[in-house]
Amino acid sequence: MKDSELKRDSSIPERVTLKKEIGLLSACAIIIGNIIGSGIFISPKGVLEHSGSVGLALVVWVLGGGIAALGSLCYAELGVTIPKSGGDYSYVTEIFGGLMGFLLLWSAVLIMYPTTLAVIALTFSNYVLQPVFPHCIPPYIATRMLSTICILFLTWVNCYSVRLATRIQDAFTVGKLLALGLIITVGLVQIFGGNYESLTPQVAFTFNKAPSIGQIALAFLHASFAFSGWNFLNYVTEEVVDPRRNLPRAIYISIPLVTFVYTLTNIAYFSSMSPDELLSSNAVAVTFGEKLLGMFSTLMPISVALSTFGGINGYLFTSSRLCFSGAREGHLPSLLAMIHFKHCTPIPALLVCCTATIVILCIGETHNLINYVSFINYLSYGVTIAGLLYYRWKKPNLYRPIKVSLLVPVCYLLFWALLLGFSLHSEPLVCGVGLVIMLTGVPVYFLGVYWKNKPKCIYDFIVGRMRKMMKMMGDRLCFDGKAVLAPMVRVGTLPMRLLALDCGADIVYCEELIDIKMAQCERVVNDVLETVDFVAPDERVMFRTCSKEKSRVVFQMGTADPERALAVAKLVENDVAAVDVNMGCPKEYSTKGGMGSALLSDPEKIEAILRTLVNGISKPVTCKIRILPTLEDTVNLVRRIEQTGVAAIAVHGRMKEERPRHPVHCDYIQAVAESVSIPVIANGGSSDIVKSFEDIETFRAATGASSVMIARAAMWNPSVFRQQGALSVERVMEDYIKYAVRYDNNPFNTKYCLCQMLRDRVESPFGKRLHAAQTTEEICEVFGLTDFYMKTSAELKARKAALQTNGDQSEIPKVEDDVIIMPVRFERRDYPPQITPKMFLLEWSRKEKLDQPVYETEQRTQDRAFQSTVTVADKKYRSTLWEKSKKFAEQAAAIVCLRTLGLPEGRIGEDNSGLVNKRKRDDNKCAPLNDNESAARKRHISEVPQEEEEEIICRTKVVTGDCGQTTSEH
């Protein structure tokens, strides 16, 4: 396929990063939108109750804003010094290490976010139910049930669609602004009307009881709950445009504005409600509306409900994102880092947040919940800001775009220590419970994060159960109860995989592809074939796939390097259902370089490769092994593999020294299946057991495996997967050819697979006709499918022509360093047998009485590809594309020369130039092979890798001995 036929998928970046799309206005909106939530509608009661007077309560609100401003300035310095998303968690992890970061994450996941969500949900329920129960407090069960329904619904929304969740957030923000705007406006009207008795100094600072310092500290904790969210912009630092400027600016604008709005809102409350009325109200804003809005009082609970509903949605989104980030860093189970492949939402993280919130809803009272979350919030803020001072001492020379005065963090920490100390003194039980819950993260950290090689019983409990949850979520490829097409070199290409799926296979593996070669490939969207191709530098398609198999194809690679394996996995991740590492092939082409079964002797490398893949991609990771000499060694290896987090393991029931003639060891596979909790796929039964569809279940039962992988039996007849019974080989071969034509499969690969299906009939007259075919058209002719070939080829050509609206500019010759170049590739199938471009160029040179063409060839070291330059009449011609063999490189150079000169090159369908009519094609070099020679050659070709087969055929069929002089450069 030429370059003009392909559309490069430029939308796929080399490295996926967060986009910087948050400007100053959006940054301010994030801070203001997250601060203003349910707190201003419920915290006034707690602040007034603990402060003891209206005046002191207003002072607490103003000072609360000031403390938030001090903390924000410290976070501004941290945000631009450590420019990572994740806020407190990222900063503490960077400064103090994994344990401190984990404890902060642990407390956030278990306490801060679920409690905040629970409080907002209860506020929503109270305001919705207040009009239904106007003269009493809404029933406990009713508020909890409505809160739970709200949490469940919004969790579903966030699981289903990010766009829908953000639209809900935008819509319900209007309700938030409407509620506060209405309260402030009505309150100012009251004040201007002279109703401000509670705000006069004489009344405002009249205390019902003298407040203690501890009670004032609790008042600040309630106010801090309303201000919580001032650090949320630091969670998305990587997405802020020019964070060194916009992060501090957003803080300078937002915090004073919120403080001003909160103070005015409280003044509005006190303009129409006495302190006793406010303290007796379970929904302050509703009571305010009932007193002043009359028949329009229902607007207030509706507006507040809208505000809190949007707040729940926003906190769910943020909390699940923190869980997701923690899981990616390895501080939470990797299950929480998984994303639904269709909806692109972190469903496991959302479900964990939802569950934790519902649990807290059932065990806590609102004001105690606020004390829990406020205490933990302040504790985390203080640890983070203490980290700023430690970081100044630890790295004094580190460049800091923003560097606040030391008085700012010191003042904040002094206030922080005073506040937490008196909170512990006044409410030791509430604060103590929060502290104990936070410290429970210490053993969890050492058990789940620090301790790598856990006993199997612990691993089964922590990880095995989570995998079962993963299976329940659907859409990720499941390996239980499946019939699987095995990875087979030269067989597992796209036509065979699609045919196996048609016949009933549940999962198909591609042939093993070496990571070094795949790492050099480029992902190309082929609009002509409607495929995704991974194209090597020499323009060979290393891996081709299509949408029909996307959810069921497993990409198998040969690798011995974790980082290179991850690079290849990321390259193909979005086009396959899973990634597999081959550790079972004993052939030299796989074991060289420590790949294939050579990995079985290096368990540490196995673990490194698999852990890197599991942690690095979102798709399931599997591996395929052979059994070891002893059962004990095999089981121990599989247990180590299981702990890497793989989704399944395929076990070939033979040792690496054994071949298909040796019996399969079902007992080994059974022992493996009994020793691990992940699915085990049994492989190796084609020769002994699997001859039909019913035998697949027989093999599965004999091994106790979860699934069965079929290799040779499927290669001979893919309809072995067919539940209704196998089809005739002739019918299967015709279906295979149709896929090969439709997806432009290499004719030599097509012929090889067809010969495997023919088996012992390959020496029959029909088999010899097939083996003599050199192009896809000739193969179709053998099977009587010429009409299908012509029709499909015409459709593909028409589609190609429709796509090439701008014309093909790729084959216009260019001059580079006195060499005429063109991106040309030699396709053997495009030329008749015994005819090559080199022959045409040689004939033309003789006719024009020129010297014979001289070819200079060089070989590239990294992939051993070839490039040739031909000199004709003192001019040099070269193809820019590298070929897989020296012969093909010379042919490509000859094509460039012929096309530049406007001469025929001998392609099929090209007008006959008569240049080669004089040549004796019945020369002994090109004579048909006798039966013995043909059979010998077939056996030889079947034993070599695919790339060598085409070169062998080229050597035996193409006259090259007198087609020009050749020199080589290695």
pLDDT in tens, 258-294: 888 888 888 888 887 877 777 777 667 777 777 777 7
The token duo for 728 is 């005739």
**Residue 238 has what pLDDT?**
60
> Rounded to whole angstroms, how far apart are CA atoms 919 and 927?
14
User: Of 189-193, 445-449, 848-852, 862-866, where does the model show the most confidence?
Assistant: 848-852
**Residue 944 has what pLDDT?**
37
pLDDT-based confidence at residue 99 (cuts at 50, 70, 90): confident
- Asked if pLDDT for residue 21 goes beyond 80, the answer is no
Cα 314 from chain centroid?
23
**Residue 19 has what pLDDT?**
43
- The residue behind tokens 């005015």 is 264
> Rounded to whole angstroms, how far apart are CA atoms 474 and 724?
27
Question: Mean pLDDT score of the chain, rounded to an integer?
Answer: 80
**Residue 370 has what pLDDT?**
60
> Rounded to whole angstroms, how far apart are CA atoms 414 and 408?
10
- Asked if pLDDT for residue 475 goes beyond 60, the answer is no
- Asked if pLDDT for residue 875 goes beyond 50, the answer is yes
**Residue 804 has what pLDDT?**
61
Supply the residues annotated as catalytic: 585
**Residue 519 has what pLDDT?**
92
Give the mean pLDDT of 652-668.
Answer: 88
DSSP states of 705-773: -SEEEESHHHHH-GGGG-TT-PPPHHHHHHHHHHHHHHTT--HHHHHHHHHHHHGGGGGSHHHHHHHH-
Phi, psi of 23 (to 5 degrees): -85, -170
Report the range of poorest mean pLDDT among 19-23, 594-598, 711-715.
19-23
The count of other CB atoms within 10 Å of the CB of residue 719 is 22
Contact between 822 and 811 under an 8 Å Cβ cutoff? The reply is yes
Contacts of 824 (CB under 8 A, 6+ apart): 811, 879, 881, 892, 895, 896, 899
**Residue 175 has what pLDDT?**
65
Residues constituting the chain: 970
- The residue behind tokens 């929503």 is 124
Contact between 697 and 710 under an 8 Å Cβ cutoff? The reply is no
> Rounded to whole angstroms, how far apart are CA atoms 565 and 605?
12
**Residue 857 has what pLDDT?**
94
Signed CA dihedral, 846, 847, 849, 850: sign only: negative
The count of other CB atoms within 10 Å of the CB of residue 968 is 12
Contacts of 687 (CB under 8 A, 6+ apart): 660, 661, 664, 712
The DSSP 8-state label assigned to residue 917 in this structure reads: T
Give the mean pLDDT of 133-162.
Answer: 85
Share of the chain above pLDDT 70, in %: 82
Contacts of 592 (CB under 8 A, 6+ apart): none
- Asked if pLDDT for residue 239 goes beyond 70, the answer is no
The token duo for 815 is 């001059």
DSSP states of 424-461: HHHSHHHHHHHHHHHHTHHHHHIIIII--S--HHHHII
Share of the chain above pLDDT 90, in %: 27
Give the mean pLDDT of 607-611.
Answer: 93
Contact between 641 and 610 under an 8 Å Cβ cutoff? The reply is yes
**Residue 458 has what pLDDT?**
63
Contact between 747 and 775 under an 8 Å Cβ cutoff? The reply is yes
**Residue 213 has what pLDDT?**
76
Contact between 747 and 779 under an 8 Å Cβ cutoff? The reply is yes
